[in-house]
Amino acid sequence: MQSLSIESAGNGSQRDQAYERLRRLLMLQQVPEGERLREAEWAARLGVNRTALREAFARLAAEGVIEQGPKTGYIVPKLTSQDVLEVLEVRIVLEGGAIERLCRLGLNTPEHLENMQKACDQFELLLREGYLLGIAEADRRYHEALIDAAGNRRLALLYHRAPLPIIYPRMFTHQQWLAKAAHDTLDEHRAIFDTILKGNVPEAQRLLRSHLIERYMTTLKREKEKG
């Protein structure tokens, strides 16, 4: 009985590891849309057994992060323009609510928002080094730090578990992103942070909306004009 318990615990640990690591990659848009998630490949990549991976796949599918394939297995869903706008609108509602709560409760202090500041500093460091995946991680960490700082457990749970990936315009190559868009993102992060510190809720929410929606709409318009 003891060996079964240990085996079960080990498989549970591998399942959680596979779930967390793969979900993070998907939220950072590091797995191409439409890609079929092959069990053997991803079990090796994540260092887990295939049973644990299947359990992680099923959990991610239940959350809407991946989809059942037309025949067997799972695929990364292709996001339409409407899907992307829905993701961004939900993020605006949740993150905008976090801004309002932070300022209303007087939590908008440098000490309480330290993790947001650290995420900005890390973003800047990784940008200088040209480390694209690290920049994406710092980008996500900044927005998660905003949500967590609001101190509402249910808000944080909803944000962390909803299928809300970081959205990067498809028209940018990695070089274009590093050369221009990433610098703008960092500037916008710092502007939102500074405005929250000042307690200016409407302006911070406006900057957040501009950061998330208006940039995407502008790049989408350029994409259509080119295409």
Q: How far from the centroid of its chain's Cα atoms is residue 87's Cα? A: 11
Give the DSSP per-residue string, 187-200: HHHHHHHHHHHTT-
In 38-164, the DSSP E strands lie at 67-68, 74-75
Options 3.40.50.1860, 1.10.3470.10, 1.10.10.10, 1.20.1260.10; CATH for 2-75 is 1.10.10.10
pLDDT at 167 over 80: no
**Those residues with Cβ within 8 angstroms of residue 170's Cβ, 6 or more apart along the chain or in another chain:** 223
Both tokens of 188, joined, read: 């916008």
pLDDT at 179 over 70: no
Longest CA–CA span in the chain (Å) reads: 65
pLDDT at 46 over 90: yes
Average pLDDT rounded to a whole number, residues 92-100: 97
pLDDT at residue 122 in the model: 96
pLDDT at residue 174 in the model: 54
- Helix (H) / strand (E) element for 143: namely helix 132-149
C-alpha distances in Å from residue 180, one per residue of 109, 176, 177, 225: 30, 6, 6, 20
**Those residues with Cβ within 8 angstroms of residue 197's Cβ, 6 or more apart along the chain or in another chain:** 108, 109, 110, 113
**Those residues with Cβ within 8 angstroms of residue 130's Cβ, 6 or more apart along the chain or in another chain:** 178
| In the chain, where the domains are located | 2-75, 81-226
Alpha-carbon distance 204 to 163, whole Å?
24
Q: Is domain 81-226 in CATH 1.20.120.530, yes or no?
A: yes
27-36, 170-179, 194-203: range with lowest mean pLDDT? 170-179
pLDDT at 3 over 50: no
Note the pLDDT tens digit of each residue in 211-226.
998 767 765 665 565 5
Higher pLDDT, 12 or 62: 62
Average pLDDT rounded to a whole number, residues 149-172: 84
pLDDT bucket at 10, cuts 50 / 70 / 90:
low
Average pLDDT rounded to a whole number, residues 203-210: 97
